């Protein structure tokens, strides 16, 4: 219980929400999930073109993992918004010649107009291991003392399509306790932040109760 409480407190400390979130998001109906921008710092040398390919693969894997998480929760009617199918998102981006290599030069407002959505879910991930291939999960105290259990950091953010303002952000370090692969990582970290996720119906109920 103490360990779980520690995780929850840590999750809340790493969450930012815009003070005017409710007003800025009141008309939000559909959000698009973008492939994540990846920075790889692998221990062995890799040709530049291969490194770029791996970065892209990791970025799309996070996109898919987030869609999977939201889809599972959506069946339980947990959210007040819909999430655009990522295949449609990526197809629409390709139709406008927007690739993984140049997506970062477009503004949130531009991308929202192209994708015809109300907001954008995006983020970045820094890794020193290929998370999509899985990470060692055996527990070893020496790894924590030597720093070998730290694999990077991930940041997820939601931006308003009309104003381009950052509405919500969640950051978390990645280590052996986080999850054995990308899908496990996203599932665990989002569950920790579930009651802080701004479009969660339960969170909205809590807000309404506090107002009363």
- Greater model confidence, 46 or 26: 26
pLDDT digits 0-9 by tens, 169-207: 999 888 777 777 888 888 888 888 777 888 877 665 555
Distances (CA, A) of 29 to 25, 53, 106, 151, 152: 9, 33, 22, 35, 33
Tell me, yes or no, if the pTM score tops 0.85.
no
Cβ burial, residue 100 (10 Å; 0-12/13-18/19+): buried
Query: 105 and 37 in contact (C-beta within 8 Å)?
Result: no
7 has pLDDT over 50: no
Domain range annotation of the chain: 2-211
pLDDT digits (tens, 9 = 90+) for 74-117: 777 678 999 999 999 999 999 999 999 999 999 999 999 999 99
* Residue 145 CB contacts under 8 Å (≥ 6 apart), including other chains: none
Q: How far is CA 172 from CA 7, 12, 67, 163, in A?
A: 11, 10, 18, 26
Residue 208 — very low, low, confident or very high, per pLDDT cuts 50/70/90? low
CA-CA distance, 184 to 106, in Å (whole number)?
Answer: 30
What percent of the chain is modeled with pLDDT above 70? 80
Better pLDDT: 71 or 89: 89
pLDDT of residue 5: 44
| CATH domain 2-211 topology | Rossmann fold (3.40.50)
pLDDT tens readout for residues 17-31: 999 999 999 999 999
| Structural contact between residues 80 and 204, judged by C-beta atoms closer than 8 angstroms | yes
């Amino acid at each position: 219980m103490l360990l779980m409480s520690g995780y929850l407190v840590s999750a809340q400390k790493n969450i930012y929400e815009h003070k005017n979130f409710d007003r800025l998001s009141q008309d939000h109906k559909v959000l698009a999930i973008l492939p994540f921008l990846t920075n790889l710092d692998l221990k062995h040398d890799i040709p530049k073109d291969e490194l770029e390919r791996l970065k892209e693969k990791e970025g799309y894997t996070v996109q898919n993992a987030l869609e999977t998480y939201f889809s599972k929760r959506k069946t339980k009617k947990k959210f007040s918004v819909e999430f655009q199918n990522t295949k449609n998102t990526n197809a629409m981006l390709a139709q406008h010649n927007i690739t993984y290599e140049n997506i970062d030069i477009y503004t949130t407002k531009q991308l929202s107009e192209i994708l015809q959505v109300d907001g954008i879910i995006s983020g970045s991930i820094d890794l020193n291991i290929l998370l999509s291939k899985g990470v060692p999960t055996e527990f070893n105290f020496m790894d924590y003392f030597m720093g070998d259990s730290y694999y990077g950091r991930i940041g997820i953010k939601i931006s308003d399509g009309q104003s381009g303002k950052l509405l919500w952000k969640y950051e978390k370090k990645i280590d052996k306790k986080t999850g054995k692969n990308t899908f496990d990582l996203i599932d665990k970290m989002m569950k920790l932040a579930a009651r802080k996720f701004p479009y969660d119906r339960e969170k909205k109920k809590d807000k309404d109760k506090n107002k009363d």
